Amino acid sequence: MKERIERLKKLTYIPHNEIAWLIEQAELAVKQQEIIEENKRQQDVTVHQFRQAQKDIQHLSGESRRYKKALEKIITNLNFAITVAQNELEGDAK
44-60: pLDDT as tens digits: 999 999 999 999 999 99
pLDDT confidence band for 1 (50 / 70 / 90): low
Domain boundaries, position 55: 2-93
At 35-47, the pLDDT tens digits run 999 999 999 999 9
Structural domain count, the chain: 1
At 71-84, the pLDDT tens digits run 999 999 999 999 99
CA angle 86–92–94, rounded 5-degree value: 105
- CB atoms under 10 Å from CB of 41, counted, come to 10
Percent of the chain with pLDDT over 90: 65
